[in-house]
Amino acid sequence: MLAWTIYISFFGALVLLLLPRSSTTLARIVAMLTAVTGFAIALIAFVEHRSGELQTIVRADWMPTLGIQYHLAADGISLCLVLLTGVVAITGILFSWNIEKRTKEFFAFYLLLIGSVYGVFLSYDLFLLFVFYEIVIIPKYFLIAIWGSTRKEYGAMKLAIYSFVGSAMVLVGLIAAYVVAGEHSMSLDALAGFAFPVHFQMWAFPLVFVGFAILAGLWPFHTWAPTGHVAAPTAASMLLAGVVMKLGAYGCLRVAMTLFPLGLAPWGFHFLGLGSWRDVFSLLAVIGIIYGAMVALVQKDFKFVIGYSSVSHMGFILLGLMTLNTIGLEGAIVQMVSHGILAGLLFGVVGRMVYDRTHTRELAALGPMNLNKAIPFAAITFVIAGMASMGLPGFSGFAAELMILLGAWHAFPWLAVGTGLGIVIGVVYVWRAMQKAFFAESVTGANHPPLEPISFPERLGAGILIACSVAIGLYPQMLTKVIVPALNSPLFDGLRKGGWQ
Amino acid sequence: MSSFPCITLLTALPIVGAIVLLLLGGNKKLVRWTSFGFSLLILLMALAMWHQFDPASGALQFQERHAWIPALNIEYRVGVDGLGLLMVLLSAVVVPISMAASWKIEERVSLYFALMLLLQACLFGAFTALNFVHWFTFWELSLVPAFFLIKIWGGPKRTPAATQFLVYTMVGSVAMLLSFLAIYVATNKFDFVELAQMAQSGQLMPTVLSHISVGRITAHHLELLIFAGVFLGFAVKVPLIPFHTWLPATYSEAPTGTTILLTGAMSKMGVYGFLRILLPIFGIQMQQVLTPLLWLAVATVVLSTYAALAQKDLKRIFAYSSINHLGYCLLAIFAVAKCSGGDAGLIAEKYAAMNGVLLQMFNHGLTAATIFWFIALLEQRSGGLRGLNDFGGLRKVAPVFTGLMGVALFSSLGLPGLNGFIGEFLIFKGSFPLVKWATSISVIGLLVTAIVILGVIQRVFSGPLHEKWATFPDLTTGERVALVPVITLMFVLGLYPQLVLGVINSSVIQMVHQLKF
Amino acid sequence: MSTSYLQLIRFALPEVIVVATALLVLVVDLLLLRKQSLRTRFAMTSVLAVVGCLSAIASLVLAPSLGSLYGEMFLANPLVNFVQIAVLALTIFTLLLTVDSSFTNHVGEFVFLVLLATTGMLFLVATLDLLVIFTSLELLSLSLYIMTAFDKENARSSEAALKYFLFGGMSAAFLLFGFSILYGLSNSTSLLQIAASIHGVSPLLVIAIVTTVIGFGFKVAAAPLHFWAPDVYESAPIPAAAFIASGSKVASFFVFFEIMAVGLAGASGGAAWLHFTNGWVPAVAAVAALSMVLGNTVAIVQSSVRRLLAYSAVAHAGYMLIAIIGHTQQNLSALLYYVVTYGLATIGAFGVIGVVERQTGNDRLDSFNGLSRRAPLLSACLFVFLLSLAGIPPLAGFFGKFYLFVSALHATPGSSGLLWLVVLAIAMSAVSLYYYLQVLKRAFVTAPSVEGEMLPVPAVTQAVVAVLAFGVVLFGSFPNLLLHWIQSALAASGW
């Protein structure tokens, strides 16, 4: 059943391509129906999921001579992210309801992207996972290059090349692992169960980890993220920050860390005070948190603020992964969901509600428009999203960052303190952007044409995302009760033995 | 313990009110009266709780306890003892006052009053929460309505003021969060009551230190660092000099109605934190660095009055005066911390000091709110002027105004018979035997405060009448009706402090007894 | 020689059919079609040739012969049959692209040459004898030289052909020189005999290796022997270019693999990182590495799509050489899968370029502006071909690379010997996405220079391109269709 999330999205894309060129409304409706169906399937699966179970969805021979299978399966972690994808997909369509240029192609690429994202989260065979992972690159390139703004072709190409370089690194690692393990299978559990030699894991782990982490915005490989997000059309930046970056983080956990747990072990020597890849990546993650926040603090372009904030928030995820304790990993996964929702919301406000109306993203230019009076709904939504994003309690961001910080206290007390600094700066940049964009002192005499009011689809989209964030914030149990058993499954045995209490 | 979730309801009611106000929208008059009605309803409910409250028991009452995030051992746990109830009452009293003082707000009225009610909900939440996560939620959330109240309706320099306010408080909060996480990592507890028990049995810090080590920092320093994080969070909020610089700017730029809420109720969150969290949980660490802490308290008391002396803006004068008044509270708290566990002979002094602290919190809330209300009325009449030297001789044209504001000012000065006196008296009475030199120096604060307030009275009400104010209107009937109950309350509390002491005494006794370290 | 001619004909039935068709085409065109329009002549002759190739395939499928003749001079086994079918299939697609052409009056001669080249390839892959290899290679090459020059109205076509011919002649000389040394060393032209007498590397053998690698390096357009390729790809008539880029690649790579893996097995040496040992492997590894780097980087700056494809072909030759370096059975199956699917995608890409060229007159990147608005189906196919070349799943190019790299790693003990080459290859393929996307960007992102004008697409070309695209998707999604065939053929042929 869950596999239909993938098929239905691809099918929807195909249907869209076959529609006559003029039927824009129909295209929107088809896309919406597809996304809603996908989400409904995901939701049913999530509700029916029995904690701790790895639910095999499809398992069929694909390339029997190579031991590669068409194997889809879902555990709690995948389900959370599949659900997130469903939510972001729906709201992304709501926020792009007004796209008039080549509408059906837009939604076709959009659904192709969604389908592949579902595919990555549900793949249990690593070959299959990689296939979906690479498919993602293409639609996102075109979504940005065709429908984007501000240096769109540059941003799109940079994103595509970074992603492709990252996936090339992953491919090297996967091929090597597959060959070393004897070419019997690419199945996750088979490879995770294979005892790779330590020296092999020592180079394969960082390779694959960084390969995935490029897409997760790991500092210093994050530079695609701000430019890509800024160039992308609203729905694409929502997806990009909302789910595509999560693909990277998911890959880090699912593939790199699961396959090569010994890659995290100490090197046996110290270099600049760093004693293992774990130290290196956690340090990079914290640098990312602080650096992203500091750069966001000085941006003039509203969307760049959000773009860099994504880098900062993704740093939390990577830090959570590196803590290697249940609570940190749990926090990382909750943060994936939380940031997916919040980044979607923030980009929705900035890209759709503000930019599409004012046609500028310069904070200095937005200020005099007195947006908090012109489009109060946008202002309120941004305030709420900003609060959630800075980690105010009661929203999903707090629950996630709390868990990550707890994990970090266990693992790297120093870095936990550094992370605190990142949180403080996070508060400052959100409020700065908010003030400059929505609450700046109005210049008397400046006359601006009235802005188009916020439409119903936008209100609905914002409402859905806020509701999700609050729901997770108030009741994180909803996610953690499926995540924890998944983390305790035999799949993560290797990681658990590698130092995770 | 009643099964009726009255605390949850009390917290939810303002939120409901805020939503109703937002939905009402345009009609300003309707919005004002609705919000005022809500605030009175809430006040009634708080009074009903007071009525139900068992003053003989110092224990937590009206408790509600539900599992929230079992995986992290986080509970939804609320309850009040005398301290909590007093603060709830204070918030419930201050909000109608601040609404009355905001009656003339004309811009985006429904949002303004909705934010006020939201702020009240956060205050209730913070004063009743017994679990760190839950408490922290409200502690942080309270910043948001406060920020917007300043940001949207504030004076000319509102933007830097609001930002400064937010950033200062946030830095403190994050430091506090990190410290609590460190504790949680070791103990798996977020519950204030349980943590306090651990601390008093002397297990808390050893447990924490056995779980956490940070580089080459010694255990002793780490312990102090954790303490410092929490301390910073509260010290900014109170504020303690030198963490106070956000306050004058914020109070003077905020619309006066908001200032009332900030100084009357919100500033008590800091002191409340000292009493509920810092003293029971980190008492030992407090003792270890007591001398510097006392210096800070004394500096706060003394320097703030001199700063007040130098101000020309009425709002800034009373902003510094607020710092001064809360400085007394901290002086007493540190004094109690110094002698805890040791000499049983000083127990009466400790009771006195603690009772004084609680009284002072309530009374300062009431008095400061009233004074700022009067400043709001002055501003309304003068078209926004509130400089110390802008007025003069008002007593000739507005005798009632002068009289009633004089009462409030004398209360602030600590005139016996008015509510301000008894709190300060108990604080000094209790603290002096505990920390002699510090209390002695702090007396300077009392003297300078007197100079400041008398100066205000003289410059504003006496002297030659400026011709500009020849037509200065006296209080209207409506204003009199609104003000008289408050002034009456000042007299009542001044003459019959038992009204408050009755509520808090048992809790204070229990609180002091629990400090066994 | 006791073999009867009948047996020989029976053995070489596909070759015979193709040659007969070639002659028939020539005759029919000269005698019957002179008066017809150019279009009819191209259509008739191409269809005739396609029928001939189809019957050759049918003879291979329905009545496959097994065994060998005259030592290893003529060989027939499932593997050879597979390669022959692949070559014939690619020829058919090339011929179908010819249907709508109009670049020359000498229609019959052109189709005749295509078929002659095909014959050369069929012989080339069905032998393990140096002499037959050389002669059939020359048959192939000479046909290709002439085909390149066929567009007589285009001076550049002749120039390219001349360049091709001069380089080709020189490389043939090198190859012959190398072969003669091998013969001198082993006293035989049979690869099996040569293999039996070569153990270790002698100075003379080094010369033989170097010259052979040069000769074949030229054939497969590997750097630094690729100089002819950009000109030929750019200026040859579309069918000729497509043919050079697809069918001839299949045959050349197969033979190159055979010579190295079979004939010189005793002198392979090693190319493990920092542990190079003397032999032909390090030489090929150097060529492969250079090809990958040079092809991919130079392709970035091209503004002509055909030249871009030429440099990308250099890069792909580099990837495929990795399979030769590994020289195990698994490498061979990976190589065959790769080169066949590469051929499909390349012919398809040339088909699309042909259509665009016919309308705009050139193959500059700008000519592709807004193609997706002007010819949606065609541009969708181009999308598939180029992304397959870039190695994006689920297209055939991806699985080809994946399997190629897997088998390369597997080829050396400890699995890490060729890792450096694999890493380089994967890194370079990441670079390649950039220039393929440059083309696709024009097609899908940039607005058409003339708004609203649809591109006339000949029906046959459209159909061929669509079939090829479908094939690329199909083989990519279900690699087992092709792989299973290759592997069983390999197993049945004693590899």
Instruction: Give φ, ψ of A268 to 5 degrees.
Output: 100, -5
Q: What is the mean pLDDT of chain C?
A: 88
Does any CB of chain B come closer than 8 Å to the CB of residue A372? Answer: yes
Burial annotation A236-274 (CB, 10 A radius, 16+ → b, else e):
bbbbbbbbbbbbbbbbbbbbbbbbbbbbbbeeeeeeeeb
Q: Which residues of A touch B174 (CB under 8 A)?
A: 420, 423-424, 427
Does any CB of chain A come closer than 8 Å to the CB of residue B177? Answer: yes
> Are A414 and B214 a contacting pair at CB < 8 A?
yes
Q: What's residue B224's pLDDT?
A: 85
Q: Which of B170, B182, B214 is opposite residue A427, by nearest beta carbon?
A: B170
Over 60: is that where the pLDDT of A445 sits?
A: no
- Helices in A49-125 by DSSP H: which ranges? 76-95, 103-122
Report the candidate in B250, B355, B251, B238 with the shortest Cα–Cα distance to residue B300. Answer: B238
Q: Which residues of C touch A160 (CB under 8 A)?
A: 433-434, 437
Q: What's residue B341's pLDDT?
A: 59
**What does DSSP assign to residue A273?**
T
Name the residue with tokens 């492969």: C288
Per DSSP, chain C holds a count of helices (H) and strands (E) of 21, 4
Chains linked to A by 3 or more Cβ pairs within 8 Å: B, C
Q: What is the dihedral of CA A17, A23, A28, A32, to 10 degrees?
A: -70
Over 60: is that where the pLDDT of A464 sits?
A: yes
Does any CB of chain B come closer than 8 Å to the CB of residue A478? Answer: no
Chains linked to B by 3 or more Cβ pairs within 8 Å: A
DSSP letters spanning A158-223: HHHHHHHHHHHHHHHHHHHHHHHTTSS--BHHHHHHS---HHHHHHHHHHHHHHHHHHTT-TTS-T
- DSSP-assigned beta bridge partners for residue C464: none
Q: Which residues contact B346 (CB under 8 A, 6 or more apart)?
A: B339, B433, B434
> Are A387 and B152 a contacting pair at CB < 8 A?
no
Q: What's residue B422's pLDDT?
A: 86
Residue of A nearest to B214 (CA): A413
- A370 Rama sector, left if φ>0, alpha if ψ -120 to 50, beta otherwise: left
d(Cα C208, Cα C422) in Å, to the nearest integer?
27
> Are B214 and A431 a contacting pair at CB < 8 A?
no
Distance from A183 to chain B by nearest Cα, in Å? 41
Name the residue with tokens 């950033």: B167
**Residue scoring higher pLDDT (C250 or B396):** C250
> Are C393 and A131 a contacting pair at CB < 8 A?
yes
- Report the amino acid identity of residue A118: Y
Per-window interface: B 342-401 vs A, CB < 8 A? none
Residue of C nearest to A182 (CA): C410
Q: What is the mean pLDDT of chain A?
A: 86
Within its chain, how far is the Cα of C165 from the centroid?
A: 18
Q: Which residues of C touch A180 (CB under 8 A)?
A: 415
**Of the candidate ranges A156-165, B4-13, C266-275, the one whose mean pLDDT is the lowest:** C266-275
Instruction: Give φ, ψ of B192 to 5 degrees.
Output: -60, -40
**What does DSSP assign to residue A268?**
E
> Are A135 and C403 a contacting pair at CB < 8 A?
no
Does any CB of chain A come closer than 8 Å to the CB of residue B69? Answer: yes
Q: Which of A63, A135, A171 is opposite residue C426, by nearest beta carbon?
A: A171
Q: Which of B151, B167, B184 is opposite residue A406, by nearest beta carbon?
A: B184
Q: Which residues of C touch A176 (CB under 8 A)?
A: 409, 415-416, 419
Does any CB of chain C come closer than 8 Å to the CB of residue A180? Answer: yes
> Are B171 and A414 a contacting pair at CB < 8 A?
no
Q: Which of A403, A409, A475 is opposite residue B212, by nearest beta carbon?
A: A409
- The H-or-E segment that residue B76 falls in is strand B74-80
Report the candidate in A130, A65, A64 with the shortest Cα–Cα distance to residue C330. Answer: A65
Q: What's residue A250's pLDDT?
A: 92
Q: What's residue B1's pLDDT?
A: 42
Does any CB of chain A come closer than 8 Å to the CB of residue C473? Answer: no
Q: Which residues of B touch A413 (CB under 8 A)?
A: 182, 212-215
Q: Is A271 helix (H, G, I), strand (E, B) or coil?
A: strand
pLDDT digits (tens, 9 = 90+) for A356-414: 888 888 888 887 777 777 888 888 888 889 888 888 878 888 888 888 988 888 888 78
Q: What's residue C312's pLDDT?
A: 93
Q: What's residue B215's pLDDT?
A: 65
ipTM for this model = 0.87
Q: Which residues contact C357 (CB under 8 A, 6 or more apart)?
A: C238, C363, C367
Q: Which of A64, A134, A157 is opposite residue C437, by nearest beta carbon?
A: A157
Tell which of A427, A436, A442, A487 to mutate to test the B interface (max B CBs under 10 Å).
A427
Q: Which of B163, B177, B182 is opposite residue A431, by nearest beta carbon?
A: B163
Sign for the CA dihedral angle at B57, B62, B66, B70 comes to: negative
Residue of A nearest to B151 (CA): A439
Sign for the CA dihedral angle at C460, C466, C472, C476 comes to: negative
- C19 Rama sector, left if φ>0, alpha if ψ -120 to 50, beta otherwise: alpha
- Report the amino acid identity of residue C483: L
How many angstroms separate the Cα of A215 from the Cα of each of A244, A277, A372?
A: 7, 19, 35
Per-window interface: A 274-303 vs C, CB < 8 A? none
Q: What's residue B351's pLDDT?
A: 84
**What does DSSP assign to residue C418?**
T
Over 80: is that where the pLDDT of A448 sits?
A: no
Does any CB of chain A come closer than 8 Å to the CB of residue B185? Answer: yes
> Are A175 and C402 a contacting pair at CB < 8 A?
yes
Name the residue with tokens 């204003």: B479
Q: Tally Cβ neighbours within 10 Å of residue C200.
A: 10
Residue of A nearest to B186 (CA): A410
- DSSP-assigned beta bridge partners for residue A301: A362
Q: Which of C427, C445, C483 is opposite residue A146, by nearest beta carbon?
A: C445
Q: Which residues contact A20 (CB under 8 A, 6 or more apart)?
A: none
DSSP letters spanning A384-395: HHHHHHTT-TTS
Q: Which residues of C touch A175 (CB under 8 A)?
A: 402, 405-406, 409, 422
> Are A145 and C405 a contacting pair at CB < 8 A?
no
Over 80: is that where the pLDDT of C414 sits?
A: no
Residue of B nearest to A485 (CA): B71
d(Cα A467, Cα B444) in Å, to the nearest integer?
54
Q: What's residue C2's pLDDT?
A: 56
Per 3-state DSSP, chain B is made up of helix, strand and coil in percentages (nearest 5) of 75, 5, 20
Q: Which of B71, B174, B214 is opposite residue A424, by nearest beta carbon?
A: B174
Percent of chain C with pLDDT over 70: 98
Q: Is A269 helix (H, G, I), strand (E, B) or coil?
A: strand
**Of the candidate ranges A233-237, C127-131, C170-174, the one whose mean pLDDT is the lowest:** A233-237
Report the candidate in B405, B400, B329 with the shortest Cα–Cα distance to residue B363. Answer: B329
**Residue scoring higher pLDDT (B390 or C325):** C325
Does any CB of chain C come closer than 8 Å to the CB of residue A129? Answer: no
> Are B182 and A409 a contacting pair at CB < 8 A?
yes
Report the candidate in A103, A124, A121, A99 with the shortest Cα–Cα distance to residue A22. Answer: A103
Q: Tally Cβ neighbours within 10 Å of residue B58.
A: 21
E strands in B268-421: none
- Report the amino acid identity of residue C5: Y
Does any CB of chain C come closer than 8 Å to the CB of residue A65? Answer: yes
CB A211 within 8 A of CB A169: yes
Q: Which of A327, A435, A484 is opposite residue B159, by nearest beta carbon?
A: A435
d(Cα A462, Cα A381) in Å, to the nearest integer?
7
Q: Which residues contact B181 (CB under 8 A, 6 or more apart)?
A: A402, A405, A406, A409, A416
Q: What's residue A498's pLDDT?
A: 66
Query: Tens digit of pLDDT per residue, chain B (517 long)?
Result: 446 788 888 888 888 888 888 887 778 888 888 888 888 898 998 888 888 888 887 788 888 888 877 777 788 888 888 888 888 988 998 888 888 888 877 778 888 888 889 999 999 988 888 888 888 888 888 888 888 888 888 777 877 888 888 888 888 888 888 888 888 888 888 888 888 888 877 777 778 777 776 666 777 788 888 888 889 888 888 888 888 888 888 888 888 888 888 888 888 888 898 888 888 888 888 888 888 888 889 999 889 889 888 888 888 888 888 888 888 888 888 888 877 655 566 777 888 888 888 888 888 888 888 888 888 888 888 877 788 888 877 888 888 888 888 888 888 888 888 888 888 888 888 888 888 888 888 888 888 888 888 888 888 888 787 777 777 788 888 888 888 888 888 888 888 888 888 888 888 888 887 776 5
d(Cα A5, Cα A115) in Å, to the nearest integer?
7
Does any CB of chain A come closer than 8 Å to the CB of residue B167? Answer: yes
Instruction: Give φ, ψ of A58 to 5 degrees.
Output: -140, 140
Q: What is the mean pLDDT of residues C169-175?
A: 92
E strands in C390-479: none
d(Cα C174, Cα B48) in Å, to the nearest integer?
106
pLDDT digits (tens, 9 = 90+) for A49-79: 887 788 888 888 888 888 888 999 988 899 9
Instruction: Give φ, ψ of B211 to 5 degrees.
Output: -95, -25
Tell which of C401, C419, C433, C480 to mutate to test the A interface (max A CBs under 10 Å).
C433
Q: What's residue A444's pLDDT?
A: 54
Per-window interface: C 349-378 vs A, CB < 8 A? 372
Length of chain A: 501
DSSP letters spanning B126-181: HHHB-BHHHHHHHHHHTHHHHHHHHHHH--TTHHHHHHHHHHHHHHHHHHHHHHHH
CB A437 within 8 A of CB A366: yes
